Amino acid sequence: MKPVLRVAFRQLRALAPIITVTAIAFGVPTAQAETKIIHGTVFLSSTDWAEFVADAKGYFKEQGLQVDTIPTRSSAKAIQQLAAGSLNVASSGMPDHLRGMAQGAPLKMFLNQIGTPPYAIFSKSSIKTVKDLKGKKVIIGGPKDVTRYYVETLFKQKGLEPGSYDYVYAGSTSNRFAALESGGVDAAILLPPFSFKAQQEGFTNLGNVQAALSDFPFTVYSYNTDWAKMHRKDLVGLAAALIKGKEWLYDVKNRNEAAEILSKVAKFSMADSLANYDYFIKDVKAISRDGSVSEASYQKMMDVLIGWGDMKAPIPPFSRFYDVSILADARKLLKK
């Protein structure tokens, strides 16, 4: 290097810290690495719609985040992987989160995902009422899955007691629909768009779960507490981006774009995605708009788990299982 160039290079290197400080002071953007968050979900569907929106609209990027979503194919597996540390956050059925924490898993709930169960129960066309399922096979998510409670609650209201029918298990709604289509089971609990397909194919609609239950969360988010020790800011940013995504979804002028986003990620047809919007957002309002979990709904879920023998009374304090501070700080962040 020539002497003049060497001097110029040394001078420029000496000025580098000053240039950086000046750029920050005057608001000049500087490159920052995004924090990657690995999120586990049962399968890519309408339940994760707010996340798909947050990614597509750049809300995660605004918080310096890159969120990678991994389908686990069952709610229990999502919690197992979260507890093992292979996931940073997971969204799945609330009972599995509570059971995991009660058994000492390093995780904690922080955000409500689906606040109203958007399920419907369909049967073979030859079965006309719930009582016709006596002695028949009903497919649900698992022996201790939240779908079991949904089925038993709706069936009891219609006069059919638990034990009067047999269970078959499949973790994803697509597999449950396939079992119903093939004739392997007599009834199945389904999410859209498979509930729409069941209706179109002439299966009997035995009832919608949300009509039998209120203020009873379906899926929630939890974080791995070991990972969260170094990533609280990222958790708050994640919650803020998801709340922003929920608000965007509930603006009906975004219906078509929302359907396009869902179709692209979940591989639904545009017709199914539009029908999903009308059912999920307009009719049932399934996605929890404010993201909170009430203590009353927690008490209901704990009562279910005690009834199943998974928990013992007295019910632990809500604060043991749910971190209210993440959502509170996310709301503050959104107001800035």
Tell me the mean pLDDT in the region 121-150.
95
pLDDT band at 336 (very low <50, low <70, confident <90, very high): confident
Same domain assignment for residues 286 and 329: yes
The whole domain housing 86 covers: 35-116+217-335
Judge whether 143 lies within some domain: yes
**CA gap 20, 126 in Å, rounded:** 73
Same domain assignment for residues 112 and 222: yes
CATH of the domain at 72: 3.40.190.10
Tell me the mean pLDDT in the region 68-89.
95
Instruction: Kindly list the distances between the CA atom of residue 164 and the CA atoms of 6, 80, 206, in Å, as whole numbers in the listed order.
Output: 87, 32, 16
Tell me the mean pLDDT in the region 312-333.
95
Judge whether 12 lies within some domain: no
Which of 186, 211, 236 delimits the end of a domain?
A: 211
Question: Looking at the 3D structure of the chain, how many domains does it have?
Answer: 2
What percentage of residues in the chain have a pLDDT greater than 90?
Answer: 79
Tell me the mean pLDDT in the region 174-200.
95
Same domain assignment for residues 234 and 304: yes
Q: Is the model more confident about 212 or about 239? A: 239
Same domain assignment for residues 300 and 162: no
What's the chain's average pLDDT? 89
- For residue 287, the cross-strand partners are 114
Same domain assignment for residues 234 and 294: yes
Tell me the mean pLDDT in the region 84-96.
96
Strands 89-93 and 120-123 come out as unpaired
Tell me the mean pLDDT in the region 218-224.
96
**CA gap 4, 44 in Å, rounded:** 60
What token pair was written down for 137? 């096979």
Judge whether 225 lies within some domain: yes
Same domain assignment for residues 126 and 105: no
> Whose structure tokens read 């017709």?
271
Same domain assignment for residues 326 and 311: yes
Same domain assignment for residues 289 and 179: no
Judge whether 46 lies within some domain: yes
Select from 191, 192, 196, 290 the least CA-distant residue to 249: 290
Same domain assignment for residues 223 and 88: yes
Same domain assignment for residues 182 and 330: no
What percentage of residues in the chain have a pLDDT greater than 70?
Answer: 90
pLDDT band at 213 (very low <50, low <70, confident <90, very high): confident
Judge whether 331 lies within some domain: yes
Query: How many Cβ atoms sit within 10 Å of the Cβ of residue 141?
Result: 27
The whole-number pLDDT of residue 182 equals: 97
Judge whether 17 lies within some domain: no
Which of 211, 231, 251 delimits the end of a domain?
A: 211
Angle subtended at Cα 202 by Cα 216 and Cα 267, rounded to the nearest 5 degrees:
65
Judge whether 110 lies within some domain: yes
Distance of CA 264 to the CA centre of its chain: 18
Write out pLDDT tens, residues 110-134: 999 999 889 999 999 999 999 999 9
Judge whether 194 lies within some domain: yes
Residue 298 pLDDT exceeds 90: yes
Which of 193, 211, 229 delimits the end of a domain?
A: 211
Same domain assignment for residues 96 and 144: no
User: What b-and-e string marks burial along 169-191, b requiring 16 or more CB atoms within 10 Å of the CB?
Assistant: bbbbbbbbbbbbeeeebbbbbbb
Same domain assignment for residues 149 and 288: no
Identify the weakest region by mean pLDDT among 15-24, 123-132, 176-185, 245-254. Answer: 15-24
- Cα of first residue to Cα of last residue in the chain, in angstroms, is 50
